[in-house]
């Protein structure tokens, strides 16, 4: 009796173009599950509408988890990260420092030797210059300001981070931005600007206008380390700071 009812049910489902979603586990169950979660099968419904799907590979799964972390879990994850070769030569990770509810977010390139030793971004001569730049527009490290970098480990020899290295650190920065919800992001230098804005344009072409990252205004200026080597650029950096201050004042008025 039961088998006859099951057979009739299957016939009705077949007529309606429906088949049972769940089947008994077989030796190929893992493969079947992966196929079921693939973008081709899970990304759209029968009507072509987007549907929710779980991460389908290790990179997506890692990003999925990072974007749901709180501060303590995030910093612990950064400290133990082995996602790229930078972990092999670091002394300490440098997650960032400052006010976690800051209106201002400053993003640099990556830690240098002193940052690698102390675990804090922008120390040494470049850090002192950044502190002076903040003071020039009535800001102070740790007070309504958060400072971090594109990558959280020092690239050997202070070289620029490789694209793959920046890619592995991107979920960490994305989560920091989501939790801080700054009103304005200041991109310090070419590497920060290009990664935040997804461009290979020069600093010169990006300065002096507002950009967007995740709906947040972005202003591009020179990295303090560059300013130490190129004194003639300091006047342009001052222009950028004035632009940033006036932009923040407008953002405050808009509220």
Output the pLDDT for position 5. Answer: 55
Q: Is the pLDDT of residue 20 over 90?
A: no
The 10s digit of each residue's pLDDT in 179-212 is: 999 999 999 999 999 999 999 999 999 999 999 9
User: Of 1-10, 92-101, 146-155, 240-249, which range is least confident?
Assistant: 1-10
Output the pLDDT for position 46. Answer: 43
DSSP secondary structure code for residue 88 in this structure: G
Q: Is residue 35 part of a domain?
A: no
What is the distance between the alpha carbons of residues 62 and 171, in angstroms, rounded to a whole number?
Answer: 9
Q: Is residue 26 part of a domain?
A: no
What is each CA distance from 165 to 1, 26, 27, 132, 230, in whole angstroms? Answer: 63, 39, 37, 30, 27
Strands 145-149 and 97-98, how do they pair? antiparallel
Output the pLDDT for position 215. Answer: 95
Q: Radius of gyration (Cα) for the chain, nearest Å?
A: 24
Contact yes or no for 248/104 (Cβ under 8 A): yes
Output the pLDDT for position 55. Answer: 57
Q: Is residue 10 part of a domain?
A: no
Tally of CB atoms within 10 A around 224: 23
Nearest CA among 126, 113, 98 for reference residue 229: 126
What pLDDT band is residue 255 in, cutting at 50, 70 and 90?
low
Q: Is residue 221 part of a domain?
A: yes
Q: Is residue 33 part of a domain?
A: no
Contact yes or no for 116/92 (Cβ under 8 A): yes
pLDDT higher at 40 or 152? 152
Contact yes or no for 207/221 (Cβ under 8 A): yes
What is the distance between the alpha carbons of residues 212 and 185, in angstroms, rounded to a whole number?
Answer: 9
Q: Is residue 34 part of a domain?
A: no
Q: Is residue 147 part of a domain?
A: yes
Q: Is the pLDDT of residue 45 over 90?
A: no
What pLDDT band is residue 11 in, cutting at 50, 70 and 90?
low
CATH of the domain at 169: 3.40.470.10
Q: Which three-class secondary structure state does DSSP give residue 48?
A: coil
What is the distance between the alpha carbons of residues 251 and 245, in angstroms, rounded to a whole number?
Answer: 10
User: Rounded mean pLDDT of 220-246?
Assistant: 96
What is the distance between the alpha carbons of residues 5 and 16, in angstroms, rounded to a whole number?
Answer: 17
User: Rounded mean pLDDT of 84-111?
Assistant: 97
Q: Which three-class secondary structure state does DSSP give residue 153?
A: coil
Output the pLDDT for position 39. Answer: 41
What total of structural domains would you count in the chain?
1
What pLDDT band is residue 252 in, cutting at 50, 70 and 90?
confident
Nearest CA among 48, 79, 45, 74 for reference residue 62: 74
Q: Is residue 235 part of a domain?
A: yes
Domain region containing 209:
58-254
The 10s digit of each residue's pLDDT in 127-149 is: 999 999 999 999 999 999 999 99
Q: Is the pLDDT of residue 65 over 90?
A: yes
User: Rounded mean pLDDT of 100-126?
Assistant: 96
Across 15-24, 48-57, 182-191, the highest mean pLDDT is recorded for 182-191
Output the pLDDT for position 9. Answer: 55
């Amino acid at each position: 009796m039961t088998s006859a009812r099951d057979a009739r049910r299957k016939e009705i489902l077949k007529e309606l173009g429906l088949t049972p979603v769940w089947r008994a586990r077989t030796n190929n169950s893992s493969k079947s599950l992966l196929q079921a979660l693939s973008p081709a099968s899970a990304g759209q419904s029968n009507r072509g509408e987007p549907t929710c799907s779980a991460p389908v590979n290790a990179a997506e799964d890692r990003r999925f988890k990072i974007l749901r972390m709180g501060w303590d879990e995030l910093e612990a994850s950064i400290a133990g990260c082995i996602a790229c070769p930078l972990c092999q030569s670091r002394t300490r990770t440098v997650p960032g420092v400052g006010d976690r509810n800051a209106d201002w977010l400053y993003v640099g390139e990556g830690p240098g030797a002193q940052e690698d030793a102390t675990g804090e971004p922008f120390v040494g001569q470049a850090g002192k210059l950044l502190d002076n730049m903040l003071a020039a527009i009535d800001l102070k490290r740790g007070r309504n300001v958060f400072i971090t970098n594109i990558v959280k480990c020092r690239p050997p020899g202070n070289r620029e981070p490789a694209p793959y290295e920046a890619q592995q650190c991107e979920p960490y920065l994305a989560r920091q931005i989501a939790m801080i919800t700054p009103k304005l992001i200041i991109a310090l230098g070419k590497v920060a600007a290009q990664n935040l804005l997804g461009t290979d344009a020069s600093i010169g072409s990006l300065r002096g206008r507002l950009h967007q990252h995740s709906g947040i205004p972005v202003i591009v200026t020179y990295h303090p380390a560059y300013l130490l080597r190129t004194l003639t650029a300091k006047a342009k950096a001052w222009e950028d700071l004035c632009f940033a201050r006036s932009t923040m004042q407008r953002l405050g008025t808009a509220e």
